[in-house]
A and B are shown apart, each in its own frame.
Chain A
Amino acid sequence: MFVNLGWQGMGQGWTQGSQLKGARGRHMQDRERKTGGFVLEVTQLPLAEALKVEGEADPQRTVECELEGVGLAHVSVLFQIRGSRARALPDRALVNCQYSSATFSTGERKRRPHGDRKSCEMGLQLRQTFEAAILTQLHPRSQIDIYVQVLQADGGTYAACVNAATLAVLDAGIPMRDFVCACSAGFVDGTALADLSHVEEAAGGPQLALALLPASGQIALLEMDARLHEDHLERVLEAAAQAARDVHTLLDRVVRQHVRE
């Protein structure tokens, strides 16, 4: 169960009054840290207890992220792979993403084998996202490895992974088209919600994950399972997009601060 770290209620109803055009938005608290070597760690710390789906007062989770450069640590652009030349593409870089989840990340401690389906699928989604965003033509015959590890999962793991990996790729100096900001969104009882928590995801409503390149508004990846009526798609998409843009403002600010130093 998630620890209740206290929450700040907005004190208003959850339909009107929120700044996101009728969508209930919540910000994630991400602490994105990079350790020495190649592993990127992503943490999500919920500020509020798991919400009931009907929605009480609207807790705000603030987003925080830090960039800690640790010497030579980088999401590395590897050299030509020795011995596996078959995989090296002659004109562009290969992007390889691996996702893993720590055993202590969910409510019950569960050991997850490395090659299991969810990790592979997540890795594939990350790869598609970043192949669209990184300018791979500039690095022929190389491989870019992105390793992501989730330390605490409270819904929106894909989004947190994408945001963390964006920061890491940026810190490594790999040229990218733009930031990639992601957020999840869902549809419950006639309202579009952004940034679902684990309980809301488990409730079983339709949910989609959106990765966006904010400056141009292009979508890098949009994924949804479960069925959603097409009338509602607009609103849900808009909620996710707005939340992703908010994340972008935050990442932008953090990176500028870091570059200034």
Chain B
Amino acid sequence: MAMEMRLPVARKPLSERLGRDTKKHLVVPGDTITTDTGFMRGHGTYMGEEKLIASVAGSVERVNKLICVKALKTRYIGEVGDIVVGRITEVQQKRWKVETNSRLDSVLLLSSMNLPGGELRRRSAEDELAMRGFLQEGDLISAEVQAVFSDGAVSLHTRSLKYGKLGQGVLVQVSPSLVKRQKTHFHDLPCGASVILGNNGFIWIYPTPEHKEEEAGGFIANLEPVSLADREVISRLRNCIISLVTQRMMLYDTSILYCYEASLPHQVLSPGPLPSSLICELLCCLFRDNMHISPILSQHPSV
């Protein structure tokens, strides 16, 4: 009987294969970045004895006079305007606490939530009592960051009809530094599934709804059974994303799509990701041939 065995193989650093330029200034905590006092210090640095010293391990980024060190892997740090996917952990008096892979739980105020039907009115006491009817503990939502508090907690809002409770699909949790900042994070992929790339590292893959239900405002969960073809597409996308993550590639719609197309000849092996040697080949080929944008680990300031 023929058996397939997969043996672990040391992962070759992809940067060598792709010929990335490693001209970034890498620092570890305790390294002096500069002794010039003319610079303003940003995140990841602190002043000690008139020197600017790094406090995290990562790459130094300089924007004019501001120096900051971007850590390799941190929890999500909210910025106004980011799209996030989160899970409700608590229902409190006038707000929900949402877990978004950040240092403190995010808050979603009742007044920042769209009422079903999209009506605009003052939230009354009955709305407070009916909060659990809208969102319960364990629900997944997509929202946008409205504000950031001084201690780092993030305040969300779902004031548009494209945000709200998420229905059937698959959630993939990755490091936030791997999600590229783009203009839009809601993508309808041509392969038949849609994906929401949350800036906090939560990626939601779901079957593309046939017709857009604009009036629902995201509260009615579509519980119709999903077809097998759609499920296969979603599983394959999930495996592609996990493979990209293990190779530390940035995630955006075209990278996921190319990885998906490159993986089509192979069968879907669930639940694990595709073997890494295979991924190295796939990604080397597609990034050399298709794209002129070299995948880099750190995010550039968004255009």
Contact = CB atoms under 8 A, between A and B. Distances in A.
Interface string A211-225: 001111000000000
B28 A79 contact: no
Interface in A16-75: 69, 71-72, 74
Interface residues of A, number: 34
Interface string A131-174: 00001000111100000000000000000000000000011111
Contact of B103 (A77, A171, A214, A215): A77
Contact of B29 (A141, A172, A177): A177
A170 B28 contact: yes
Given A82-B90, A173-B72, A261-B13, A179 B151 contact: no
A171 B73 CA distance: 7
Interface in B63-112: 71-75, 90, 99, 101, 103-105
A260 B26 contact: yes
A85 interface: no
B105 to A, nearest CB: 5
A174 B55 CA distance: 8
B169 interface: no
B151 A176 contact: no
B151 A141 contact: yes
B138 interface: no
Nearest to A139: B103
Contacts of A216: 30, 48-49
Interface in B278-303: none
Contacts of B201: 72
Given A77-B103, A80-B105, A259-B58, A215 B46 contact: no
A181 to B, nearest CB: 10
A77 to B, nearest CB: 5
A74 B32 CA distance: 26
